[in-house]
A and B are shown apart, each in its own frame.
Chain A
Amino acid sequence: MNQTPDITPTTTALLVAPAAVLMFGVFVLPFLFLVVLSFWSQVPGSLSLDTSFTLTNYVRIFSDSYYLGGLWTTLWLSGFVTLICLLLALPLARWIVLHAGRAKGLLIGISILPLICGALLPTLGLVNLLSPLGFINGALKSMGLIQTSLPLLGNITGVSIGLVQAFLPLMVLPLINTVERIPHDYEKAAMSLGASPFVVWRRVLLPLMLPGIVAGSLLVFCAALTAFVTPQILGQGKVVTFASLAYQQAAMVLDWPFASALGIVMLMFLALAGLVGALISRRLARAS
């Protein structure tokens, strides 16, 4: 690649500036405002803000068992969803790369479909899939396997299914990218030296796929931690997740400083997850 620019630095700056200014002003600045806002408070009974510094919002989150419970549920739910996504995405990504052939592009298109459809439309389908009269219960009943409907909505089961379904593509895409870079000979070499499929996976494939695993897990964990549309609909208000608490405070209670503090706490957990991911990647880079 030729490294000399084809246009002048001034032209470059002029071309880039509108998008950059917009993204900085509308996307980055609000996050800075969020930090400030989380240390303010709402004047009770009104929409005006008390701008004196206070820690009440944070104290409330970490002392009230309702919010702590929501935080705990969200953390383990996100971890669980990440694990299931990983278990499903590993064989899928490898199969798409090795065996899909010409269908590969279309299969990738299918796996990005939930990303483009947004959170809502697939969730509508999931309600009809999981409801007491829905697809799964109806099919099981007409086969005579169950008499009463299995409770798949309004509990953590339904929410987990919905989150795995929604975020599986986030795991599949980075995994496909790493699997594509592993030469197929490595596996054959290990096999010819007498390694069983299990050993091939554990000692050869998984270590090579680890960068993709870390990247995908981070994406899924972050997405699950901050999801609120899927948990609200499939949990039918009975599963309290952290993001739905923040959404309620912002959209219904209209306590924006408190909603901001909830948002900041989410960001801190995301940063923590990112840090763990970065540490794993760095150890890996040193080991290889």
Chain B
Amino acid sequence: MTSRFGKGLMLAGVVAILLFLLAPILVLIFSAFDGGNIFRFPPRSYSLRWFEEAFNHNEYKSSLWISTVLGVISTAIAVGLSSLAAFGLVRGKPSYRLALEVLLLAPLTLPLVVWAIALLSIYAQLGMNGTLPGLILAHVTITMPFAARIMIATFDEIDPKLEAAAKSLGASPWNVVRRVTLPLAMPGLLSSTAIAFLVSFNDVVVTTLIAGAGWITFPVRTFSRLRTEGIDPTTIAIAAMIVGFTILVIVLGQRLFQLSRRF
């Protein structure tokens, strides 16, 4: 095998694998512009009608609103708590740092569907099933590891000498945090906020088990419809917009503050 031929083959293989990885998302975006009621390839017509439909559909609008509210509240709590904890772990260097990191990151390694079954039965005993607080607690828990990982990496990179210098020049502890630590941590805070929100907004595994009838988020509505009635083109249009937004966040995050390095 000549090395140039080998390299070409390798490149072709890598491009094919990347295409495979991206194919579902590319097809999703492409099929949102199909004019028909059922997606077929090649499409008979192209149109924006499903996007228009998406903005006029009340059922979807209310579920998107629920997803947004839930995402915003859960993200605020998860980023807040994980920032405090990450700061404590990095600056306090307690002997239990490793154990606590394992605890905060646990939802990434343990199966969420099994956990959600347990949570569902506990909520049922407590009468919390289908309530907003119950849902928020669950979403804070699943977004916490993403936020915590980014915040720990962020504080690890901030030199404590900068804080010490501000303090020695007479800044009060609150001023040190406000004028030195927070600005330096801002890229990390923004990254973790964006990722945590997207994880909460897109979650279907946990939410479909504990959402109940009152707080049906967009992914849960889509999932239950999909099992009974198949794909609705309006869903595809909304999903394409969500994916487009997600890609935008990742590309911007990468450009502005090297999102991938924090993962």
A interface vs B, CB < 8 Å? 2-9, 11-16, 18-20, 22-24, 26-31, 33-34, 37, 47, 88, 91-92, 95, 99, 104-114, 116-129, 131, 133-135, 137-139, 142, 165, 168-169, 173, 197, 219, 222, 225-226, 228-229, 232-233, 237, 243, 246-247, 250-251, 256, 259-260, 263-264, 266-267, 270
Given A91-B10, A243-B113; A256-B259 close (CB under 8 Å): no
A263 to B120, CA, bound (A): 13
A128 contacts which of B11, B28, B251 (Cβ < 8 Å)? B28
Contact A165 B23 (CB under 8 A): yes
Partner of A124, one of B103, B209, B236, B253: B236
Residue in A16, A135, A137, A226 whose CB lies within 8 Å of B114? A226
Question: Chain B contact residues: over half helix, strand or loop, or mixed?
Answer: helix
- Given the known A-B contacts A116-B202, A121-B242, are A12 and B118 also in contact in the complex, defined by CB atoms under 8 Å? no
From residue B105, how far is it (CB to closest CB) to chain A in Å?
9
- Assuming the contacts A128-B231, A129-B23, asked whether A28 and B103 have C-beta atoms less than 8 A apart, the reply is yes
A20–B85 touching, CB < 8 Å: yes
Q: How many A-B pairs with Cβ below 8 Å?
A: 296
A229, B1: Cα distance in complex, Å: 43
Please state if A2 and B254 are interface contacts (CB–CB under 8 Å): no
Task: Annotate B15-32 by CB proximity to A: 1 below 8 A, 0 otherwise.
Answer: 001101111111111110
Q: How far is the CB of B238 from chain A (nearest CB, A)?
A: 10
- Is residue B91 contacting chain A, with contact meaning CB distance below 8 A? yes
**B89 to chain A: which residues have CB within 8 Å?**
12, 16
Are B81 and A92 interface neighbours, CB within 8 A?
no
Query: Which 8 pairs between the two chains have the least Cβ-Cβ distance?
Result: A12-B92, A138-B41, A15-B88, A125-B28, A118-B202, A125-B24, A30-B118, A226-B111
B contact set with A: CB distance below 8 Å: 1, 6, 10-11, 13-14, 17-18, 20-31, 38-42, 81-82, 84-85, 87-89, 91-94, 100, 103-104, 106-107, 109-122, 124, 137-138, 140-141, 144, 148, 160, 163-164, 195, 198-199, 202-205, 208-209, 219, 222-223, 226-227, 231, 235-236, 239, 242-243, 246-247, 250-251, 253-254, 258-261, 263
Across the interface, do A92 and B17 meet the contact criterion of CB distance under 8 Å?
yes
Given the contacts A9-B92, A15-B88, A109-B251, A229 and B14 also touching, CB distance less than 8 Å = no
The docked-state distance in angstroms from the alpha carbon of A114 to that of B121 is 30
A226 to B204, CA, bound (A): 14
